[in-house]
Amino acid sequence: MVGDVGTQVKSAALSLLTTALLMSALVLPSGGTAQSLPDDRGASPFYRWQAAIPAAGRLLRSEPLLRRELPAIAGSGLRVLYSSISDFGSERAIVASGAVYFPEGKPPSDGWRVMLWAHGTKGVADRCAPSFAGLDAAESEFVGRWLARGYAVIAPDYEGLGTPGPHPYMGLGSAARSMLDAARAFASDPRLSRDLVVAGHSQGAHAAFGAGLLHPSYAPEVRVRAVLAAGLPGEAGLAHADPASDQSGSPWAAPLDPGTPRDSVRSLRTGAFDPWIAVYLNYVSSYALAFPGFQADQWLTTEGLKATDELSSSCASQTLAAFMASRRPVSDLMKRDLSVLERGAARYRRYPAPHFSMPVLVIIARHDALTAPELSFNMARAACRRGSAVTVRYVDRGSHADARAELGRAGLDFADAAMAGRPVQSDCPALAWPGRG
């Protein structure tokens, strides 16, 4: 029975990454030659910063969002550029982008409370950046709930989305710094309180967890009152561990203390179709950052380079759906197994020991087909074992999208309590996996 459940979890972990990619386009770094890398499908000139990059967390420029770019309930909004630091491959100064949404009316004397929002997978092309592409209807309704409760929403795009250069998909430190530096960039805005909560969904839950863990050492002046994560992927797809159980009864084999060194990245099946090839193609831009001198044409065939270029042509899912349906053998696309590179790059996606200095809410949809709910539970349990105060809320029969919607209900109530300094319940003493139901 344990093996059966573990197999389902492993399949769901793969479903998370491949289905999430069906909502995105794959893209590679700009500036390459015809035989190296295609460009990264740029956004508007606003996103191009030509001057020197100052210290991290500085607002570089802003422009008002148009009325049609705002949630209906928003009073106003900004598109912004700010400085940050990437740690993917090497530490370097970068320019990041995002959007800020303000409630209607006059801010309170101590400023609007802030929700620092980490979005889910949108794609990796520049023009897929939410600050450029805009919010879809569900996102607009979700952000509107927070605005109606009196929160301003700061919504970073992450490194390499909107701004030039590759997006290190699922890069933990990179996304966490993009989050925290966005908050720093508005630290002196009189409309905003210095207190904030960090919330994220799916890929954004990964970023929110990272921001909560990195905050004490990287940006201690940012007053993070709580971390909220829905559809948390944990380290899905990064370890490829074999299913097993442990003494706690969890059916997922990822280590209890994420960040533990391991070499368990599975090699691709080169003689047949392997759905993990879509994941690795999405990571190619990360390899360009992690390994100086990386040339895609040394790893991908002509057909592989062509497929990657096709996949990077839009933020829509149709091209990737057609690619997955074609079931091409990996050997038609790769000259060499990209999992060799992932063994070196995976460390940039992994969590450090998950001890949080603020309360944490983890929302788990028990029928989530994109993020295996056991993965979210494993991360909650790991944080508990490190002494964190973790509250877990289950959405019975809920989907991946339902987990985000619950952030606008239970998440808001949890945030209100944390911001007011009221005690929040920790489920750690009695935390146990309830099953999928």
Q: What is the pLDDT of residue 253?
A: 31
| Strands of 307-423, DSSP E | 360-365, 390-395
List the one residue out of 94, 144, 142 whose CA is nearest residue 289. Answer: 94
Q: What is the pLDDT of residue 90?
A: 78
Q: What is the pLDDT of residue 312?
A: 67
3-state secondary structure of 268: coil
Alpha-carbon distances of 102 from 152, 183, 231, 409, rounded to whole Å: 5, 14, 26, 19
pTM: 0.84
CATH 3.40.50.1820 fits 1-428, yes or no: yes
Q: What is the pLDDT of residue 346?
A: 83
Other CB atoms within 10 Å distance of the CB of residue 261: 7
Each domain of the chain, given as residue ranges in start order, spans 1-428
- Mind listing the pLDDT tens digit for each residue in 122-153? 877 888 899 999 998 999 999 999 999 999 99
- Mind listing the pLDDT tens digit for each residue in 65-100? 999 999 999 999 999 999 999 988 778 999 999 999
| C-alpha–C-alpha distance, residues 116 and 191, integer Å | 15
Element (H, E) at 96: strand 92-102
Is the pLDDT at 182 greater than 70? The verdict is yes
| C-alpha–C-alpha distance, residues 117 and 46, integer Å | 22
Is the pLDDT at 427 greater than 70? The verdict is yes
Percent of the chain's residues with pLDDT above 70: 81
Alpha-carbon distances of 194 from 110, 152, 270, rounded to whole Å: 9, 11, 52
| C-alpha–C-alpha distance, residues 413 and 125, integer Å | 35
Is the pLDDT at 321 greater than 80? The verdict is no
| C-alpha–C-alpha distance, residues 19 and 280, integer Å | 14
Give the per-residue SS3 of 347-359. HHCCCCCCCCCCC
- Mind listing the pLDDT tens digit for each residue in 208-250? 999 999 999 999 999 999 999 999 987 644 333 323 323 233 2
pLDDT band at 177 (very low <50, low <70, confident <90, very high): very high
Contacts of 144 (CB under 8 A, 6+ apart): 71, 72, 73, 74
Is the pLDDT at 319 greater than 90? The verdict is no
24, 124 in Cβ contact below 8 A? yes
Is the pLDDT at 9 greater than 60? The verdict is no
Q: What is the pLDDT of residue 117?
A: 97
Output the CA angle 190-78-221, nearest 5 degrees. Answer: 45
List the one residue out of 114, 88, 92, 101 whose CA is nearest residue 184. Answer: 114
- Mind listing the pLDDT tens digit for each residue in 208-219? 999 999 999 999
pLDDT band at 337 (very low <50, low <70, confident <90, very high): confident
Averaged pLDDT score across all residues of the chain:
82
| C-alpha–C-alpha distance, residues 252 and 375, integer Å | 7
Contacts of 184 (CB under 8 A, 6+ apart): 56, 57, 58, 82, 219, 221, 222
